[in-house]
Chains A and B, each alone.
Chain A
Amino acid sequence: MTAEGATTYPGIDEVHPDLLKATRLGMVIDQQKCIGCWTCSVACKEENDVGIGLYWLRVLTVGGDNIDVPSGTFPDLALEYQSTNCFHCDNPPCVKACPVSATYKMPNGIVTVNWDRCIGCRYCMVACPYDNRVFNWRKPVQDPPASLVEVGNVPPRPKGVVEKCTFCEHRVAKGLEPRCVVACPVGARVFGDLDDPNSEVSTLLRERPSYVVFPEKGTKPSVHYLMRFSPNVAGGES
């Protein structure tokens, strides 16, 4: 199963040579399609060996005060989901903040963390306006243990360093899409090069109204949300 350092999923995974030439990788998440099932989050944990209590990807409820609770009063209810991982911003405040350049932007637009250099000061987490970064407060614990599940080739993290979504850079390096994209049962996640006008992500952003989270912060996120056809109030700062 393991091919060239990344587990592939036959019948689902295919190599996209375009990803290897990308200069600004980004993601488009379709709010019309997302059903809030958290499969992306679970697949992410499995692929990247993310420890118990840590999440690189979480599915936020756009609705009431609690998870899966709609806003409004019956029968006028509204509910949608905002599946949220690192936005790999074009103007990433975390990269500016890091005192040792342990977090940096790759030429393909991915913002990643060198956890062999990170000193664990957590300034990047303070700088992130989205709380999309997590810290290893202890030696990460996998349950079930990593040895029992089929996983990607992501090196284990020591305690005391920051980690976050890498757009599965180990898969992208092989021309494969991030695991959350292939795992999504409804195809809500689309991955590609935002700099390429002919990519699927660019086409979708041209054709459908979309939003990013906190545009006023000027971070220029590379993860865009396609609005529902009858949109609820979404994503607002509150």
Chain B
Amino acid sequence: MSAASAEHVGARRAGTSRGLAAWLIVLVAVLAAGVGVWIYQYIRGLQITHMRDNVIWGLYIITFMYLVGLSAGGLIVASSGRLFGVERFKPIVRLAVLEATVAIAMAAVMILPDLGRVDRVLNLFIHPHFLSPMIWDVTVILIYLVLSLTYVWLYTRRDLAARGSWLALGTRDTSEAARARDERTTYRLAWVALPAAVLVHSITAWIFGLQISRGFWYSSIMPPLFVTSALVSGLALVIILALVVRRFERISFDNGLVSYLGGMLAVFVAVEGFLVFCEVLAGYYPGVTTDASRQLFTGRYGPGFLGVEVTAGLIVPFILMAFASLRRRPAIVALASVLALIGIYAHRGNLIVIGLGKAPIQLAPGTPLGTPQASGSDFAMSSVYFPSGYEIVIVAGMFALAALLFTIGVWVLPLKEKGHGAGGLSG
């Protein structure tokens, strides 16, 4: 960073500090609302959600999957860039690693409001049952969280030490030789981080994909589909965050990188579309009229699948990013990224609500719901789920916490690479 640009940042900082304060206040307010509703939920029980014994899981698990995907995608992009020597990724690698770390930490937190007895969460460590994919997931998420934090520290500690920050955690050596050593260490770590990121979302997929009870989920395509959707959403979020953070001059890169990332997004979206098509065709082709895949096209969930997931989330971003002329415009790349992010969230939602929406034994009166119903019947053959206001506020609070952590990370951590050429990849 030149002295001139440092002054410029200083001037900008004064200008943006008021905006930053307002942003932080909004985030803290939303977080406080979320925590407040969570306390209310703890007192009243999960009856304040719209989940019941038919749609057993809802927005919390949908968001959990989404956050794991955002994290895995971010880290896969960062570490594959590192491993395969995609030198042009360098300006955004630290940002991507920070995004991955915040997202995985929030995924771990996101599980908690879904638990009926969150006070017993330590039973996961006291009485683990290793045949349960849930325990595999807890294990891999915690390992992955430690890995991500290590990554962030390794990438930033020399610069933190140069600033004299205590966040360097005892690191003092800021010499070029030490930096070169760290370069090699991060390179080696990428060999662990890349498979770990693939694994973390595969295991999340197996929570669903290994359950023979739910025909819509019981499929070997689930891990590849989850990893691909992680790549789409993780890359899309990294693009948006990179563009936003660049506006505040915490990182710098040229628009060529944006266009390059847009091209990658088009490839990932195309693979995602292919896998979704494979899954739907296999469900649809045999002509079983009650197969869950039929619900994707008609009725209550048609618009969510065909409209949001496929059209807005896959087709439009692909078309936008397929043309080099459109990819050159950062605003269009940002638009495609936002659409892809919405589409993947819809994919998570469709997976849960369609997978669970119908009573597996289709005999009247169906599945007991678990609370007395205004309709008079305590049972349902099938039901539609839309989250309650309480669920939405709690999840909004979690997203606010994620944004808060990310904002603090951006302001505290040196995200700019110190730009010492290609030698870094010699590891």
B-binding residues in A (CB < 8 A): 52-55, 58, 60-67, 69, 82, 84, 93, 96-102, 117-123, 125-131, 133-139, 158-162, 213-214, 217-218, 235, 237-238
Contact = CB atoms under 8 A, between A and B. Distances in A.
Given A99-B124, A122-B116, A139-B45, A53 B57 contact: no
Chain B interface size, under 10 / 10 to 19 / 20 to 34 / 35 or more:
35 or more
A53 B45 contact: no
A134 B364 contact: no
A117 B56 CA distance: 19
Question: 8 closest Cβ contacts across the A-B interface?
Answer: A120-B116, A160-B116, A129-B213, A60-B363, A99-B134, A138-B47, A131-B367, A159-B45
B363 A82 contact: yes
Output the residue of A99, A117, A127, A161 with the most chain B CB within 10 A.
A99
Contacts of B54: 131
Contact of A84 (B124, B131, B361, B378): B361
A65 B366 CA distance: 10
B343 to A, nearest CB: 24
B365 A58 contact: yes
A117 B116 contact: no
Main secondary structure of the interface of A (DSSP, over half): loop
Interface stretch (B8-16, B293-301, B320-328, B369-377): B369-377
B120 A136 contact: no
A118 B366 CA distance: 25
Interface string B25-43: 0000000000000000000
Interface in B360-417: 360-373, 378-379, 381
A138 B44 contact: yes
A97 B213 CA distance: 11
Nearest to A56: B368
13 contacts: A60-B364, A60-B365, A98-B132, A99-B124, A121-B114, A121-B115, A121-B116, A123-B132, A135-B46, A135-B56, A138-B371, A161-B116, A237-B362
B370 A135 contact: yes
Contacts of B132: 96-99, 123
Contacts of B378: 53, 55
Main secondary structure of the interface of B (DSSP, over half): loop
Interface in B185-227: 207, 211-214
B244 interface: no
A236 B356 CA distance: 19
B359 interface: yes
B86 interface: no
B5 interface: no
B267 interface: no
B213 A128 contact: yes
A49 B345 CA distance: 40
Contacts of A137: 45-47, 49, 51-52, 370-371
Contact of A53 (B111, B290, B371): B371
Contacts of B379: 55, 58
Nearest to B137: A99
Given A54-B368, A60-B363, A159-B116, A100 B128 contact: yes
A121 B134 contact: yes
Given A54-B368, A58-B368, A131-B367, A160 B45 contact: yes
Contact of B364 (A69, A100, A161): A69
Output the residue of A63, A69, A158, A238 with the most chain B CB within 10 A.
A238
A218 B211 CA distance: 12
Given A58-B379, A62-B363, A98 B129 contact: yes
Contacts of B127: 100-102, 117
Contacts of A129: 212-213, 360
B173 interface: no
